[in-house]
Amino acid sequence: MHPLTLTTLGTGAGRPSLHRSSSAVALDYQGEILLFDCGESTQMQIMKSTLRWGKLAAIFIGHLHGDHFNGLPGLLATLSMSDREAPLKLFGPEGITDILSVLRKHRVLYTNYPLEVFEIKKAGVLLETDHYYVETRFIDHIIPCWGYAFQEKDLPGVFDVKRAEALGVPHGPLRGKLVRGQEIQLEDGRKIRPEEVVGPKRSGRRVVYCLDSRPCSEAIQLSQKADCLIHEATFEACLGEEAHEWGHSTSQDAARLAKEAQVKKLILTHISQRYDQAKPLLEEAQVIFPNTLLAEDLKIFEV
Ligand SMILES: [Zn+2]
Ligand SMILES: [Zn+2]
């Protein structure tokens, strides 16, 4: 399996603090970085991380609250100063094109590489490559908000080298054909079927990014059987009413959702800056969903 890592660049809700920057998560897969949200100081967080600017392939903004967006103009401008030439894809809610146009008009923003902006109109697949796709669903916040899922495509089964040797399959292109699911014929006329030497297909991994949102059915559907769900947990359980009023979740809401969607691992982020210590939020969630982890700025998670 190719390494798939998540770096939680910013993990705080609302304003940034010295301990928790505003929301941003980088997904690093096969030499490409996908960035989910771009709160204030995201570019500083990238500089502090092991990530490299040049690998940034696409940015996905969930909604247009400042703590998810304010870092974007600065990051886009810095990429210009870094002599980027490769195109960059940007996905976000309706209105993102207008905002960037105004910033360009007044020379706040200048980009010298192709920036392809897509405003999301409906749920579905936004981006697809040979190895993965990214899909979106409308989640339940106080302004239009999109949750995202990265889905790795299924991987071929494991090639059984010993079995291949025993059957006399030579090294080289014939083995490649078997891995790609094609029957081959050896020089002595024997035919070998792929299932004789290649194991069953391996399911691709799924990573879901879901913030900001009240608990909702769309988020459950998006998260179904995900290997990793990154979900907001702005407040502790006793502030549920306040959380829901402002379109947010508690850590226990996130845990219930993770349990219902049968995910493998839950990462809590978007922690209210009122909490110096977020451990109680984590412990409350673990009562419902034990495999819950707490995001910290610049922490790296393997999927
Ligand atoms: Zn937020
Ligand atoms: Zn918000």
Beta strands 115-119 and 145-152, pairing class = unpaired
Residue-wise pLDDT tens digits, 250-262: 999 999 999 999 9
CA gap 296, 286 in Å, rounded: 17
What does the angle CA 163 – CA 168 – CA 173 come to, to the nearest 5 degrees?
Answer: 95
> Mean pLDDT, to the nearest integer, of 219-234?
98
Burial class (CB in 10 A: 0-12, 13-18, 19+), 50: exposed
Q: Are 250 and 243 in contact (CB under 8 A)?
A: yes
Beta bridge partners of 294: 268
Is the pLDDT score of 209 beyond 90? yes
For residue 302, the SS3 value is strand
Q: What is the pLDDT of residue 178?
A: 92
| CA 136 to ligand 1 center in whole angstroms | 18
Ligand closest in space to the Cα of 143: 2
CA gap 268, 122 in Å, rounded: 26
Instruction: Give 133-148 as a DSSP string.
Output: EEEEEEE-SSS-EEEE
Q: What is the pLDDT of residue 180?
A: 86
Residue-wise pLDDT tens digits, 124-173: 999 999 999 999 999 999 999 999 999 999 988 999 999 999 999 999 99
| CA 14 to ligand 1 center in whole angstroms | 6
Residue ranges of the chain assigned to CATH 3.60.15.10: 4-155+202-302
| CA 228 to ligand 2 center in whole angstroms | 21
Ligand closest in space to the Cα of 68: 1
| CA 212 to ligand 2 center in whole angstroms | 5
Ligand closest in space to the Cα of 232: 1
The pLDDT > 90 percentage for the chain reads: 95
Beta bridge partners of 299: 8
| CA 154 to ligand 1 center in whole angstroms | 33
Give me the active site residues, please. Answer: 67
Residue-wise pLDDT tens digits, 37-52: 999 999 999 999 999 9
For residue 253, the SS3 value is helix
Is the pLDDT score of 241 beyond 90? yes
| CA 16 to ligand 2 center in whole angstroms | 13
CATH of domain 4-155+202-302: 3.60.15.10
